[in-house]
Amino acid sequence: EKGGWSSFMRKEISEQPDAVANTILGRVVDGQVVIPELDGFGDEMLRDIRRITVIACGTAAYAGMVAKYAIEQWARVPVEVELSHEFRYREPVLDEHTLVVSISQSGETMDTLMAVKYAREHGAKTISVCNTQGATIPRESDGVVYTHAGPEVAVASTKAFVAQITALYLFGLHLARVRGTLDEATLAGFVDELQQVPAQLAEVLAESERVAQLAHWMADTRSVLFLGRHVGYPIALEGALKLKELAYIHAEGFAAGELKHGPIALIEPGQPVFVVVPSPRGSQNLHPKVVSNIQEIRARGARVIAIAEAGDVAVLPFADEVIRIPLAGPLFEPLLAVVPLQMFAMELSEAKGLDVDQPRNLAKSVTVE
């Protein structure tokens, strides 16, 4: 039940520290990731994987896109992410060295289920990341890593998303250990960063008032753009999806590096643009590139709302608003940066008097094609 919350979505957003903590619970022993459910996947089998294909729809697919960056970096296995309904109709190349990882909160999404069946029939191994015990997709898969977000009632997915990234990160760290692609100290460092996420999420939630104000000021906005790159790119896509679903506002997410290849033409005075700013501590040095993107759009009149880590002062002269997230490992920032975007969409939906939990035309679980 909703308890004292105005909507299930508000409640579920607030439950995200627990969704992550409970998904980690019992899976880190003495600083090392253990996934007992995957015992059936012996280490030999995991070493034998030559590539991973992630299949999912909607928000679950964005969780897969985030995890692609981490799994490739940690376990050195190529990862592709594909929408289930595209995957199943394009005769994908599969063999026994392909691991197909499906992601589904409900475990009942028809296209994802059919894609898993297709993958199995064509010789791939299948693992499902699912939030619903005993659902159809995990039953049809060779293995399952459950997310422990608890039941998600609101149609718009929030806590399941952060739990999916958590489960995929655990899997990626497990894979890296088995395949020997990270030394022990580095591996332990990432496990530690993951374990800090629940407390950091609680900090982000405590800062929610600013986002609410922003949403109220922007209740008449007709279009919002979202930019990000690296792990911030899928977060930009997710921010745009949340806004479409909940506030019925035209919204689009872009990879910041694409700006000059077209989207910058959309910028006109007053256009609100959320920018997920990468950590200045990231190894790829993407931060100055995104700051210069901010300058470029600002010069054309964009109203920039930056989501940036604590202490990042470089964005200050160029952003109209800065929403802060705590310092986290660069790969773990998406788990934090998504929260203000979820809240923004929810607050805007409420400001417009819409049904936050049950947006028009949508169903929680899409069990038809």
Instruction: Tell me, yes or no, if 364 is annotated catalytic.
Output: yes
Q: Interacting stretch for ligand M6R, rule CB under 6 A, among 42-50, 86-94, 175-183, 360-368?
A: 360-368
Q: Which is nearer to ligand M6R, 147 or 279 (CB)?
A: 147
Strand ranges of the sheet holding 143-146, from the earlier edge strand across to the other edge: 79-83, 51-56, 98-104, 125-130, 143-146
Nearest to 348 by CA among 211, 197, 185, 167: 211
Look up residue 29 and give its two tokens: 């022993």
346 contributes a contact to ligand M6R by CB under 6 A: no
Residue spans of alpha helices (H) in 143-279: 159-179, 184-206, 208-217, 232-247
Q: How far is the CB of 330 from ligand M6R (least distance, A)?
A: 25
Interacting positions 55-94 with ligand M6R (CB under 6 A): 57-60
Backbone angles phi, psi at 133, to 5 degrees: -55, 130
Angle subtended at Cα 38 by Cα 35 and Cα 39, rounded to the nearest 5 degrees: 100
Distance, in Å, from the CA atom of 342 to the CA atom of 211, rounded to the nearest integer, reads 10
Q: Which is nearer to ligand M6R, 191 or 341 (CB)?
A: 341
Q: Which is nearer to ligand M6R, 98 or 157 (CB)?
A: 157
Q: Is the dihedral of CA 344, 349, 355, 359 positive or negative?
A: negative
Q: Interacting stretch for ligand M6R, rule CB under 6 A, among 98-106, 188-196, 226-234, 333-341?
A: 98-106
Pairing of strands 28-29, 32-33: antiparallel
Which residue in 117, 244, 352, 364 is the catalytic one?
364
Look up residue 262 and give its two tokens: 């077209």
Tell me if 141 sits within 8 A of 92, measured CB to CB: no
Locate tokens 């595209």: which residue? 86
Q: How far is the CB of 115 from ligand M6R (least distance, A)?
A: 11
| Site size toward ligand M6R, by CB under 6 A | 16
Distance, in Å, from the CA atom of 38 to the CA atom of 277, rounded to the nearest integer, reads 35
Q: What is the DSSP letter of 278?
A: P
Q: How far is the CB of 57 from ligand M6R (least distance, A)?
A: 4
- Within the chain, strands assigned E span 28-29, 32-33, 51-56, 79-83, 98-104, 125-130, 143-146, 223-228, 250-255, 272-276, 303-309, 321-325
Q: Which is nearer to ligand M6R, 325 or 341 (CB)?
A: 341
349 contributes a contact to ligand M6R by CB under 6 A: no
Indicate which single residue of 35, 156, 259, 297 sits in contact with ligand M6R (rule: CB under 6 A). 156
Q: Interacting stretch for ligand M6R, rule CB under 6 A, among 11-19, 105-113, 168-176, 300-308?
A: 105-113
Q: How far is the CB of 161 from ligand M6R (least distance, A)?
A: 8
Q: Which is nearer to ligand M6R, 135 or 182 (CB)?
A: 135
Q: Which is nearer to ligand M6R, 53 or 279 (CB)?
A: 53
Residue nearest to ligand M6R (CB): 58
Q: Interacting stretch for ligand M6R, rule CB under 6 A, among 86-94, 149-157, 259-267, 281-289?
A: 149-157
109 contributes a contact to ligand M6R by CB under 6 A: yes
Q: At what angle do helices 333-351 and 208-217 cross, to 10 degrees?
A: 40
Q: Site mask, ligand M6R, residues 19-58, x = CB under 6 A?
A: --------------------------------------xx
Q: Which is nearer to ligand M6R, 195 or 365 (CB)?
A: 365
Q: What is the DSSP letter of 122?
A: T
112 contributes a contact to ligand M6R by CB under 6 A: yes
105 contributes a contact to ligand M6R by CB under 6 A: yes
Q: Which residues are tagged catalytic?
A: 364
User: Can you give the binding site for ligand M6R, defined by CB under 6 A?
Assistant: 57-60, 104-106, 109, 112, 155-157, 245, 362, 365-366
